[in-house]
Amino acid sequence: MMLRIKNWDNKTWISSTKYIQSFINFLLKQKKLTKHSKILDIGCGRGKITGSLSSKLKLINKPIGLDIENHKDFDKRITFKKTNAIKYLKDNKKKFDLILIKQTIHFFNLRDINKILSYSHASLEVGGIILILTLDTKNNEIPTFSLMKQKLNQSFKRDILIWKKLLQLNIKKNITKFNFKVSVKKNTYLKMIKQRYISTLLKFSSLQISNGINEINLKYKKNILFNDKLKCIIFTKV
């Protein structure tokens, strides 16, 4: 069963205007998009990134956002669908210029990675791209407490396997990185920990979360500064 994460883009730096604009600028460097472009966002959360992209480009067709969590407060500039991505892509007849899989590929079973890439590739226009982003496992700076760091490092082992699997695919590909300098108030970050904003925290007990909050409270001052580093692989349909 796929774990569900509700708050990764809810009142975090990822939902900030500064982050969204920075990420959109990054996107537009990877692929020239116009008002006619068709976009699919897999694991869209509330869809704020593709919603903002829609406004910037004045898209004729609303981006389609897929998520297994039924976000009632999704961005109305997208067409939101609560559905499994593999099921949607398998039945899909539309063609997209951009398929975005941002920080969600690790939720899929290893055996499904080839399947989702195959279906996504079949759903691209010629010249279209699949853009997959995941946490940088080598140079990660996410603020953690000791147990969180331990679990995060364990999850990175699986992320590395997924990355190797992606690199082995016989599709034209390019590797790049996205980096965002984060300045977050400690109290805000403590609330994010309590809300289990990252999948590493989903299985923690209330006591483990409480102890972790106490640890971070002692570890950091009022503001927490770090780089949110993502590595990115881009597949192009030729």
Domain ranges of the chain: 13-183+227-236
Q: What pTM did the predictor assign?
A: 0.92
Q: Provide the percentage of residues in the chain whose pLDDT is more than 70.
A: 95
pLDDT, tens digit, for every residue of 83-104? 999 999 999 999 999 999 999 9
Does the pLDDT value for residue 185 go beyond 60?
Answer: yes
Task: Spell out the SS3 assignment of the chain.
Answer: CCCCCCCCCCCCHHHCHHHHHHHHHHHHHHCCCCCCCCEEEECCCCCHHHHHHHHHHCCCCCCEEEECCCCCCCCCCCEEEECCHHHHHHHCCCCEEEEEEECCHHHCCHHHHHHHHHHHHHCEEEEEEEEEEEECCCCCCCCCCHHHHHHHHHHHHHHHHHHHHHHHCCCCEEEEEEEEEEEEEHHHHHHHHHCCCCHHHCCCCHHHHHHHHHHHHHHCCCEEEEEEEEEEEEEECC
Average pLDDT over residues 25-41: 98
pLDDT, tens digit, for every residue of 5-14? 555 566 678 8
Q: What is the pLDDT of residue 73?
A: 87
CATH topology of domain 13-183+227-236: Rossmann fold (3.40.50)
